[in-house]
Amino acid sequence: MKVNFVDLKAQYQTIKPEIDSAIQNVISNTAFVLGKAVAEFEQEFASYCDVNHGMGINSGTSALIMALKALEVAEGDEVITTPNTFIATAEAISYAGAKPVFVDIEEKSYNMDPTKLEKAITGKTKAIIPVHLYGQPADMDPILQIAEKKEIPVIEDSAQAHGALYKEKKTGGLAMVGCFSFYPGKNLGAYGEGGAVTTNHDDIAQKVRMLRDHGSSKKFYHEYIGNNCRLEGIQGAVLSVKLKHLDKWNDGRRENANLYRKYLKGSSVKVPEEMPYSKHVYHVFCVRVKEREKLIDFLKEKDIYTNIHYPIPIHLQNAYSFLGYKKGSFPVTEGCMDEILSLPMFAELTEEQIKYTTDCIREFYGE
């Protein structure tokens, strides 16, 4: 039996007629960039996230850059995030001209440890970006409390957490600005690149709309030095179709997470914890294992494909060596790095595939 890490073909088969006709519509209308399909999706997504505004952007990385630019983050500023994230979070800070400053994670949630946040704030801190990693929201209340006290805006990196809840509230609407990625493998994925910025603030929304389109709201009149970060019509149309299925797919992921828990019970594999304040949407099902590299090879031989999110934390990446962090700078993040393993996870994964995967894991450990 083959178990892919993700299987976008399986998902497409369940929505083929809707997707094909939505894409054909955009081609017939020739509204290839922004246009009606994107405008409709923006409204639907804003309403899904319980916010006033949603702006379609050409990627999650660009969404973070647009959000930082809208908050006037610039050279000489510092922006706080965690070292346990995809490099795009830090890259966006760098592209805005600022310096990334890291705060270690909590071992249980893999997200920013709010108790370590205040110490990282300086007079130069212009924004804080907690990441809702793997699909589980960061502990936002204490983060927002500290940020409010210091009058620093918070941007959620919700690239992995579409539809996740923090104390019954959707991510993307928990702070001043939310940023999403619609990279194809995400819980809500486009058929190409895509992203969004969400906010309740009219001024930020207006600025992001302009920044993504060359700093302009009227053709050939430019208020700001912007960029070309517009979402394509075909992606808007695909995302509208897929948004209607998102809750069902997230429920499927949650059911699969429970099946993994059931079949791994009593084994030496440590399954992820769902924090009491969160509804996790399992973009990634991250377990902790011993002898990881050997296990990965063993599973590959059994036609089971896994991944590591992420093998090297940002502060130890060559690209960020100039920041001067060393091994030992963030012990909790580093302590997880050699043990984390992402098991196959998507809504269409079958119980047989999960049972086969966990049987193979038990076989490897002789359990």
Ligand X SMILES: Cc1ncc(COP(=O)(O)O)c(C=O)c1O
Question: Which of 67, 79, 159, 347 contacts ligand X by CB under 6 A?
Answer: 159
Question: Which of 89, 198, 333, 342 contacts ligand X by CB under 6 A?
Answer: 89
Smaller CB distance to ligand X: residue 45 or 183? 183
**Cα–chain center distance at 315:** 19
Alpha helices in the chain (DSSP H): 8-29, 35-48, 60-70, 87-95, 117-120, 140-150, 202-211, 233-243, 246-264, 292-301, 331-337, 351-365
Residue type, 305: Y
Chain residues 10-69 in contact with ligand X, contact rule CB under 6 A = 59-61
Chain residues 270-289 in contact with ligand X, contact rule CB under 6 A = none
Question: Which of 81, 85, 171, 278 contacts ligand X by CB under 6 A?
Answer: 85
Give the dihedral of Cα atoms 165, 61, 235, 161; nearest 10 deg.
-10
Number of residues that bind ligand X (CB under 6 A): 14
Could you write out the DSSP letters of every residue in 279-312? Answer: E---SSEEEE-SSHHHHHHHHHHTTB--B-S-SS
Smaller CB distance to ligand X: residue 23 or 188? 188
Is 190 among the residues that bind ligand X (CB under 6 A)? no
Structure tokens at 162: 């579409």
Is 178 among the residues that bind ligand X (CB under 6 A)? no
Question: Residue for token digits 């699909």?
Answer: 135
Chain position whose Cβ is nearest to ligand X? 60
Q: Minimum distance from CB of 160 to ligand X (Å)?
A: 5
Pairing of strands 78-81, 99-102: parallel
Q: Minimum distance from CB of 81 to ligand X (Å)?
A: 9
* Phi, psi (rounded to 5 degrees) for 198: -120, 145
Smaller CB distance to ligand X: residue 76 or 311? 311
Is 88 among the residues that bind ligand X (CB under 6 A)? yes
Smaller CB distance to ligand X: residue 184 or 252? 184
The site for ligand X (CB under 6 A) is made up of: 59-61, 85-86, 88-89, 131, 157, 159-160, 181, 183, 195
